[in-house]
Amino acid sequence: MINLFKKKNNQPNILIELIANIINMLPLQFEYLRNQISGGIIKGIKSEKGPFQNYSKISLDVKALNKFEKPDGKYFAIKGIKVFDIKHQKTTEIHLYIGYGLLIGFSTPEIKELAPDISTVDISGYYLEFFVNDDFEAIKAILTNEEVEVLNSNNVYEVELEGKVYYHIKDLEDGDFIGIDKEKNLYKITHDPYEIVSLKESILQIFRD
């Protein structure tokens, strides 16, 4: 266990210390998260409305974020981690959320305000849950296995332009992007000037050039 903060009565600091200790207890495959923690990536924690019950967003240092971010990183949760809550006098579960290779938030489904006893963290039952992107699933059927591998499902979403549906698959500069339709045609879509230009390159060429 590591002690990152001296003040134990500061709730955000206690939660950051809890997160840091959990990550340091996880196996070697999460070494990249440990490097982020030791690199000072966490700036703070803020409770907010989100897609998960009792969700808290983790504020990240911009310089550290740019250093550690993985554009092809999957979006998933680390679940099954337990800790004893002092206020409610019971063991509860905490879920960590990872996106683009970064720790972006956590939730405590059973407790709104966690008051953890950090010494009681138990990761023995942890497991991973990967999130499904329906828009990505909609185009997987037209892609080869190799093409699926080079795409990041987090970056795929539906865009309707002039009555036609495209799927965003790759960001370009200034909000422009590469899109694909359900016939597997590729396009460069720009907003200034507004243009939809057909591309002759393949998905593999676009992502590997």
**How does pLDDT run across 143-194, given as a tens digit for each residue?**
999 998 888 887 888 888 888 999 999 888 777 899 999 999 999 999 888 8
Contacts of 90-99 spanning 24+ positions with Cβ under 8 A: 91/120, 91/122, 94/18, 94/22, 95/52, 96/19, 96/22, 96/23, 97/52, 98/33, 98/73, 98/74, 99/73, 99/75, 99/154
The structure's pTM equals: 0.69
Q: How is the chain split into domains, by residue range?
A: 11-130, 134-208
CA end-to-end span of the chain, whole Å? 44
Question: Cα separations (Å) of 78 from 28, 44, 69, 114, 181?
Answer: 14, 20, 18, 18, 33
Alpha carbon distances (Å) from 26 to 21, 23, 47, 133 = 9, 5, 24, 26
Q: Which residues of the chain have pLDDT under 50?
A: 1-9
User: Quick one: pLDDT at residue 11?
Assistant: 64
